[in-house]
Amino acid sequence: MSPARSGYLKGAAFGLATVSIWAGWSVVTRLAVTTSLDAWDIAALRFGVAGLLLSPVAIRRGLARERLGWLGLAVTIAGNGAPHAVVAASGLHFAPASDGGALNPGCMPLFVALITAMVLGEKPSATRRSGLWAIVAGALVIVVWHAGGIAWSTSRTFGDGLFLVAAFLTACFTVVMKHAKLEPLDAVALLSTGSLVVYLPIYLALAGTRLAHLPNTEFAVQAIFQGILVTIVSLVFYGRAVGILGASAGAAFGALAPALSALLALPVLGSGRTGRIGSALS
């Protein structure tokens, strides 16, 4: 096998692993924000856990300002840190998880292509442009003809708008990380620790000890899933995919999220919990 093909397969494996976790996040978080948690709680869990675990890495390796600058550092933290988590989880409160998968991360490759073209002057090839149009068409099909016939409403439209904002934020993070040549673990440590320092004091001042009232099992499951699997593992994998394949090709795996969301729900649907997953998907 040629080195180029081997490298592509390795990058593709990281991309598929990433989007599988992201697809699961849409269902699990939709379930959470329509039952016991809200978007602010989800962000606190994600970056409280990840920030504490990765703060030694950020302290040891520094802020990478020589490569990022203050603006790049702010984009790194906002693009996949607490601001992104609040926006994406808020969208799942107003709109179904199927919309979330189609628009965020489904439309994120489109935003990456637009940013790299406008800011870096990288023009996509004809093949890539065709692929981007296919992504847009697929997202529209899923949103407009969502199974179950969910009616359009101001609430759903607002949620879909939040998904697009979240996709744009991740696209900005993707371009900055690739352009600055940040190691994936460094990028995740920066955004997690920055979110911990900036967001958690605000959350604690406003919400107090609300998370402490969760049942211990639910708290542990959400903390591990949100803080470790989604924030650390998926973003390190995503950084590896982008580093190997490039910003546009690495981001393109986000288009698989809608289909994977449905596939990941099948085992749970088969276990007799149709009602809960039905509410999560719609």
Mean pLDDT, 10 residues at a time, the chain of 282 residues: 80 91 82 80 93 94 87 93 93 82 83 86 74 74 59 83 94 91 93 95 88 87 93 94 87 76 53 41 44
User: Could you tell me if 22 and 203 are in contact, meaning their C-beta atoms sit under 8 angstroms apart?
Assistant: no
Other CB atoms within 10 A of residue 66 CB:
8
At 25 the pLDDT is: 86
Alpha carbons within 13 A on the beta-carbon side of 212: 4
At 272 the pLDDT is: 40
Instruction: Report domain extents, the chain.
Output: 14-277
Residue 210: Cβ-neighbour burial (10 angstroms; 0-12, 13-18, 19+)? middle
Check residue 36 and report its DSSP letter: T
> Tokens 């969910």 appear where?
150
At 77 the pLDDT is: 94
Query: What is the SS3 string spanning 107-168?
Result: CHHHHHHHHHHHHCCCCCCHHHHHHHHHHHHHHHHHHHCCCCCCCCCHHHHHHHHHHHHHHH
